[in-house]
Structure 1
């Protein structure tokens, strides 16, 4: 079952148990964030780097953690599964791509990170100023998109998290 489908089911159950969006937000604020990573993000942003996120998480979770960490404004784009609060106050999570994105590579049905990277590369090429990409990955879902990088780009794999 795709991750965003699992999360959508979990959010339905959490809501059924009387938990509110504020409760979820408070839990997310307690998620461990590596201090040095926050510093590195702030430094890269201060140096003029265009920081973007490609994640199989969901927008509510990502934005909540980034805002709490004080780094939301460091990112120009967040590519992740969309989310919204329905009329009942329940968080709904939707796929970034349709499940039929027809990717033949090992990626989840709800997001093809390789396709996202490819579109970023095309967008950068249209600007006429080819920038280097540095792709940070921490799981099996990051192998394919990292293979889409060009010779001048870099992959940084999180220690002890095989791709």
Structure 2
């Protein structure tokens, strides 16, 4: 196992859209969502929208079929497969939810590449309705971070991962990815998506981020930047330069390695 963890956000990082909005828009519930948005916190609102969609006769199958159509750039998929084949530890830290993420990753044959998915819980209840709840139950207590949304402080998750003693590559786009970026140090990397909130926040005062910043804008560039970081890594077991493709190589499906079952995300003590 390589001595570096590659942490991906999910929405607008692995897939090129917001999975919550994608499902709502594709299933024709946008107008109701926009009406309720100013009146409810995000996670309860999503749970309410799943109830409305269910009441309109939509089934879990319909949600699953919509998720399979969410845009995922082939270059991003190739980068994930290649990093996995080299033995890197790949994890997801996302403010989406388990059902959306797993359905998309399964459809693209990527779920086995990840050792852990940290995100908002979701499940299908006895009535066949998708239920969504917050990663951190903010109705009971606060996680105490003023930078992050009330349901999730990604730094608390990344701090646990860092305690394993590995260097980190963190790839994200959103405001919620800024807090964990501040946690990283020398020898780590942060990959913000250019002209998205994480990039804007880093640009506002670059001195606050101690990790090396390598920006990207679209799927092919995300792949190229991640491979450049991997080329510089000293953490690949049995690494030889010829193991990596040329910088301009268009990677297709890469051979996988033996894997362990996907681990459920661990709760972070507050």
TM-score of the superposition, structure 1-length normalised? 0.92
Residues 108 and 147 (structure 1), Cα distance of their counterparts in 2 relative to 1, 3 Å cut: same
SS of corresponding position for 2:167: coil
Q: Does residue 145 in structure 1 map to residue 166 in structure 2?
A: no
Kept after mapping to 2: 8 A contact 1:2/1:108: no
| Residue from 52, 59, 78 that aligns with 1:20 | 59
Distance in 2 between the 1:162 and 1:108 partners? Answer: 14
Question: Superposed, which structure 2 residues align to 1:32-71 within 5 Å?
Answer: 32-71=71-110
Bigger relative contact order (CA 8 A; separation at least 6):
2
> By how many angstroms is 1:160 displaced?
2.9
Structure 2: where are the runs of 5+ without partners?
Answer: 1-39, 199-270
Deviations 1:122-156 (A, max 9, x none): 2x1xxxxx321000111111101111112111000
In structure 1, the gaps of 5 or more residues are 125-129
Alpha-carbon distance between aligned partners in 2 of 1:9 and 1:56, rounded to the nearest angstrom: 17
Residues 3-46 of structure 1, C-alpha deviations (whole Å, 9 max, x = no match):
32221111011001000000000000000001100000001001
Alignment match, 1:154: 189
Pick one of 97, 111, 132 that aligns with 2:136: 97
Give, in whole Å, the separation in 2 of the partners of 1:120 and 1:101.
Answer: 21
Aligned residue for 2:71, secondary structure, equals: coil
Q: Please give the residue correspondences for 1:64-143 in structure 2 after superposition, counting only pairs within 5 Å.
A: 64-99=103-138, 100-122=141-163, 124=164, 130-143=165-178
Q: d(CA) in 2 for partners of 1:149 and 1:118?
A: 9
Distance of 2:42 and 2:52 partners within structure 1: 15
Aligned residues: 157
Moved segments of 4+, more than 6 Å: none
Q: Select the structure of larger CA radius of gyration.
A: 2
Structure 2 Cα separation of the partners of residues 121 and 87 of structure 1: 38
Taking only aligned residues, the RMSD between alpha carbons, in angstroms, comes to 1.1
